[in-house]
Every structure is written in structure tokens, then in C-alpha cells.
Amino acid sequence: MLWQTDDLIEAPNWHPDGWLLVNRDGLLLRVPLDGSDVSVIDTGDVVACNNDHGISPDGSQVYLSSHVDDLSTLYRVPVSGGEPVQVVPDVPSYWHGVSPDGAEIAYCARRRGRYEICVMREAEVQLTGLAEDEGHNDGPDYSADGGWIWFNSGRTGAAQIWRMRRDGSDVQRMVTSDTVDWFPHPSPDGAHVLYLAFPQGTLFHPRDKAVQLRMMPQAGGESWPVLDLFGGQGTINVPCWSPDGRAFAYVRYAAMD
């Protein structure tokens, strides 16, 4: 265990310099891996940050989602802190991934009444929701080679793990299970995908559930259990692997009495 606190923290990202980014009480925190003091990252007037945040591949920028008038809005700020710049004009938008070349971000967005996966370079491109009845799509993250976007989708019923080409083509179901599966994260070494499995019948991705972290080959194949824990929302919502792919970070909660 790296850090224990009575406060609600969520969604660790791993910075290349060896510290974790988490959110707490609307702010973003820098949690050193060496056990030194936790500090707040200055996000200016943006102080309603949620658990959809991450770090650019070169470590220079933080992407964050913060609520404005109850709608999640997507910003970018230097890792050293400052006044964030809004990078997606439409709301609500929830950051989830950045391409390995740093040129593109992927996010979940409510568009025309449904939650879909979009990417942004110079303008927003919607990748899902282009055909009828595709269900709730969420949690996009890029493969190590940048060729695939992994995501979870309820297009066949309960949420399961899928992937598609970076342009939204060649959609493939990668997991078929009895659980409700969210937030796939491909490892940076190209070997594995980590995801979060909720109990059968779970709606969306709530907090305070008995859940399981599972792993599968990035090339496809059977998954296996890694860890059973009390968690859910906030455990691994966003990319959480170390840059070398040898470890990942997660949040677990104390079980309620």
C-alpha cells in the first residue's frame, strides 16, 4: 500500500517521473511513490475536478475533467500547474485516454442524449453511436501501438470489453463474461489489458462494491483474476499503468460495516 487516507481519493495515473495523480475534493493531487508529502496541483479557478484525468505521454501536461454548472468539461493544464485551457468545447465530456504520440485524446461524451466515444485532434470526431442501438459506450483507452482504442460498451446488454480501430472501424468484442466489465487499460509494453469487473446485474459503475481486477492478453484470449477488492467507481477509471508496464496503480476502499 502506497498511501492511506480517510478522504475519498480516486483514479490514479502514473507520471513518468514516478508519482501518482489522483483527485480529492475537486482538486488534483501529486502522490510521490517515495512516500514524501502529498501536494496539490494548481488548477486555477477549475476546482470541481472529477475522476476523469490523465497525463500526456511526455509528462508535460495534465488532462482533467471538471464540473461547470453540473456538466463535465475537459481541460488541459501544465503539470507544474496554472490556469487550465478548455480543449473540448462541447459538454459534458469526460477525459479517458491520450494516444501514444500525444496527438489525440479520447473521451466519453453525452451527445444527442447518449454516452458515446469521441476523439479530438483539431475537431471532435464521434466514433460510436453512428448506428442504431449501440448502447452506452465509455472508458476509451489506446493500445500501446496507437492502432486500437479499447472501451466498454453495453451494445449487447451488460457492459463488456471491446476494441476498435483508431478511426472507429473494425469493432471487435474482446470479452464475453457474466460480469459487468468496465475501463479496459492496455499496458504500455503491449502485452496485457487490465479491466474492472463488477458483479452480474450491476448498473453502470458504482462505488463501494465487491469488484475484481482482471487481466487479458492484448492480442485477445481468456482473461484471469488479478485481485478481489472493495472498490468500483474510482478504482481504475483512467490509465493507471507504470510507463514500463511492470506495475499498475489502483484505489481500494474500506469495506462498510
pLDDT digits (tens, 9 = 90+) for 66-85: 999 999 999 999 999 999 99
Per-residue pLDDT at 131: 84
What values do phi and psi take at 250, rounded to 5? -155, 165
pLDDT of amino acid 133: 81
User: Does the CA dihedral 168-172-174-177 come out positive or negative?
Assistant: positive
Sequence-ordered alpha helix ranges (H) in 108-181? none
Give the pLDDT mean for 230-251: 98
Q: Give yes or no for residue 42 having a pLDDT over 80.
A: yes
Which residue is it, cell 449501440?
Answer: 134
- Tell me the percentage of the chain whose pLDDT exceeds 90: 96
Which residues make beta-bridge pairs with 172? 163
pLDDT at 252: 97
105 vs 2, more confident: 105
Nearest residue to 143 via CA among 190, 107, 106, 102: 190
Which triple of cell numbers denotes residue 211? 469488484
Q: Please answer whether residues 209 and 229 qualify as being in contact, where contact means their C-beta atoms are separated by less than 8 angstroms.
A: no
At residue 79, the pLDDT reads 98
Give the closest residue to 56 by CA, choosing from 104, 10, 9.
104
C-alpha–C-alpha distance, residues 63 and 197, integer Å: 25
Domain ranges within the chain, ordered by starting residue: 10-231
Q: Region 137-161: what's the mean pLDDT?
A: 97
Looking at 3.40.50.720, 2.30.30.100, 3.30.56.10, 2.120.10.30, the CATH number of the domain 10-231 comes to 2.120.10.30
User: Is residue 48 very low, low, confident or very high in pLDDT (cuts 50, 70, 90)?
Assistant: very high
Q: Find residue 19's DSSP bridge partners.
A: 15, 32
Is the pLDDT score of 257 beyond 80? no
